[in-house]
Amino acid sequence: MAVLACYTNTAEGRAAVDRAFIESCRLDDELVIINIDTHHSGADSAMPDIDLDGFNAGGRKVTVIPPSEAVHDAADLVLQTQQDLDASLIVLGLRRRSRVGKLILGSHAQRILIEAGCPVLAVKAV
**If we measure between CA atoms, which residue out of 28, 15, 30, 18 comes closest to residue 87?**
30
Residue ranges and CATH numbers for the domains of the chain are 2-123 (3.40.50.620)
Is pLDDT at 42 greater than 60 in this prediction?
no
pLDDT band, very low/low/confident/very high, at 23 (cuts 50, 70, 90) = very high
Structure pTM? Answer: 0.84
Highest mean predicted confidence (pLDDT) among 48-52, 58-62, 86-90: 86-90
**First CA to last CA across the chain, in angstroms?**
29
